[in-house]
Amino acid sequence: MAITQTRPKRKVSGGRYTDYRKKRKYEIGKAPTNTKVGKTQLKSKRTKGGNQKTSLLHADTINLLSKNKQIKAKILTVKDSPANRHFVRRNILTKGTIIETDKGPAKITNRPGQEGTINGILIE
């Protein structure tokens, strides 16, 4: 069964809406990527208009901004995750996650599962 972004099958009262058509390709959603710490692995998906969307499945490096300088650092482990406390022990990377790098602790500022890279700022 495909994940869809249309209205639910049931009304607030519990009754069912009557189907007037089937699911459409442009209404399809997707499961979360759950980017993990590990050897870099990407996945591309064709989107509307023939464009490409890149998902990051595993990553081991981060682009850090420190004192207006861009540096590349190696990700060691996840320290804290505002999205879900269980993401810490599973080493899942999401926006806002605090990670330990070889340059020091850093905070992820983008959405790696939807952008294909990891950007962050060094926490002083």
Predicted confidence at residue 25, as pLDDT, reads 86
Comparison of pLDDT for 30 and 75, the residue scoring more: 75
**Using one digit for the tens of pLDDT, what is the confidence trace for 88-119?**
999 999 999 999 999 999 999 999 999 999 99
- What's the confidence (pLDDT) of residue 15? 97
Q: Please, which pLDDT band fits residue 2 given cuts at 50, 70 and 90?
A: confident
Please state the domain extents for the chain.
35-122
The rounded percent of the chain whose pLDDT value lies above 90 is: 83
For domain 35-122, the CATH class is alpha beta
Whole-number Å distance between alpha carbons of 123 and 121: 6
Residue 22 to residues 2, 14, 19, 109, 112, Cα–Cα distance (Å): 12, 21, 7, 38, 32
Counting residues of the chain whose pLDDT is more than 70, the rounded percentage is: 100
- Residue pair 76/97 in contact (Cβ under 8 Å)? The answer is no
Average pLDDT over residues 38-49: 93
CA 118 to chain CA centroid, Å, is 10
Which residues face 54 on adjacent strands? 44
Confidence at residue 124, expressed as pLDDT on a 0 to 100 scale? 79
Bridge partners for 112 per DSSP: none
Q: Is the pLDDT of residue 82 over 90?
A: yes
Q: How confident is the model at residue 1, as a pLDDT? A: 72
Q: What is the mean pLDDT of the chain?
A: 94
The candidate with the shortest Cα–Cα distance to 62, out of 5, 97, 108, 95, is: 108
DSSP letters, 3-31, are -B-S--SB-TTSPBPPP-S---GGGB---
Residues 72, 44, 34, 81: is their CA dihedral positive or negative? positive
